Chains A and B, each alone.
Chain A
């Protein structure tokens, strides 16, 4: 199990990891398990500016399509291109290789984040 002490979570099951002013974003293990096999992920273009809670993409699994929301605001600095050929990385390693976007110019205003214990408490 990944060490999630540095990760924070949204109620909509995304995670964010802040390091050196860059926020890396993905979805939780609970979310990938609920979605089942991920078929593809639509991600934003680099340079897009997003506010906390704004939609940044769509994830489509065998079971359903779901919107993805950024836990914090920022400018999209990178997207995980590997996911276009290997979306199953989100299932296999949601906190590592399954990351989705990196943001800089991070702005936490308007964000509503839970720590690991808080996320577990809501069923995550």
Chain B
């Protein structure tokens, strides 16, 4: 177990490789209760969220979620978030554990007096089931409050739900979201019912080959899937265009914090975000220099071994004059490992069977 933002977190159970491959082929269950949950309510909620985040919250219908970033006035990323809309007056925002306190202070500071904002992180747990068998595992034990089938639920859809085995009165919200590149679900649950939920999911997942998975596999899976990690791939000195998240910025939605700066940055962001494929013996790590034509042109933001793609993969932040077609190397502890620039993500799940 490792300490992660004050939580004792499992880094691995059976091993990162086993867990990684289980999630790609069958399913894995992750305890990600360290993530923060912020509840925003009231008739001012939508207008206020619009001010705060880069994406267009008004495009969400009831029961939908979206990925977005929250920027400071300079367009630097304070955090990346998922915003869930229950209804027009009830939103749930998932924030990163390491930035939770900073995020909540920022939100309060920029929310005005009337804002109804509750940091419910200590009262709520978050359990993710990820992998192609997720729907087979969850469907038989899940009843959606609004009716309808879990299988028919769209990507980034969200609903209150009841899961068999969890005591009555325990609030649960299930969403077809995740951080693995696979089909899957995330369940927000009252902390008091989290153990029962975990046990119910483990019991249902057994026959489908689901395994518990830790933070180690979570990182290798998300990186193969080209998903960003706050604090590593981006921080307050990074704007969304510089880390390939320009698609989360909707400049046409009207004014929002950081919008003016982002309008300026859009045409010529100071950095570019690229995917690198290395040989199987060359794992690049965060902070290592990226070299082109004998000079440093960038830095590795994340690197690992991609168990599904079968080689080392990395993401890098590079200067705008970086030549995608030129020779690229990573300085790994003094020795140069050649790398190939490839489009993100490194891994895309096969479609059609779920």
**Residues of A bordering B, CB below 8 Å:** 36-37, 39-40, 42, 60, 62-65, 88, 91
User: Known contacts A62-B304, A62-B305: does B15 contact A40 (CB below 8 Å)?
Assistant: no
Knowing that A36-B16, A40-B281 touch, tell me 19 more A-B residue pairs with CB under 8 angstroms.
Answer: A36-B216, A37-B16, A37-B17, A39-B280, A39-B283, A39-B305, A39-B312, A60-B281, A60-B283, A62-B216, A62-B220, A62-B283, A62-B304, A63-B11, A63-B216, A64-B285, A65-B283, A65-B333, A88-B17
B12 & A36 in contact (Cβ 8 Å cutoff):
yes
Chain A proximity of B222: nearest CB distance (Å) = 13
Q: How large is the interface on B (under 10, 10 to 19, 20 to 34, 35 or more residues)?
A: 10 to 19
In the bound complex, CA of A64 to CA of B303 (Å): 10
From B220, B280, B285, A65 is in contact (CB under 8 Å) with B285
Q: List 6 A-B contacts (CB under 8 A).
A: A36-B216, A40-B281, A62-B220, A64-B285, A65-B283, A65-B332
A36 & B333 in contact (Cβ 8 Å cutoff):
no
Q: Which of B167-222 contact A (CB under 8 A)?
A: 216, 220
From A36, A42, A64, A65, B15 is in contact (CB under 8 Å) with A36
Mask, B245-289, CB within 8 Å of A = 1, is: 000000000000000000000000000000000001101010000
Chain B proximity of A69: nearest CB distance (Å) = 16
In the bound complex, CA of A60 to CA of B282 (Å): 9
B15 & A37 in contact (Cβ 8 Å cutoff):
yes
Mask, B326-354, CB within 8 Å of A = 1, is: 00000011000000000000000000000
In the bound complex, CA of A70 to CA of B84 (Å): 55
In the bound complex, CA of A42 to CA of B333 (Å): 13
Chain B proximity of A115: nearest CB distance (Å) = 28
Chain A proximity of B203: nearest CB distance (Å) = 28
Query: Most A CB atoms within 10 A — which of B280, B281, B333?
Result: B281
Chain A proximity of B119: nearest CB distance (Å) = 31
Contacts of A63 in B (CB 8 A): 11, 216
In the bound complex, CA of A36 to CA of B2 (Å): 13
Chain B proximity of A60: nearest CB distance (Å) = 5
Contacts of A37 in B (CB 8 A): 15-17, 305
In the bound complex, CA of A65 to CA of B220 (Å): 16
Instruction: Please list the 4 inter-chain residue pairs (A to B) with the smallest Cβ-Cβ separation, ordered nearest first.
Output: A37-B17, A37-B16, A40-B281, A62-B16
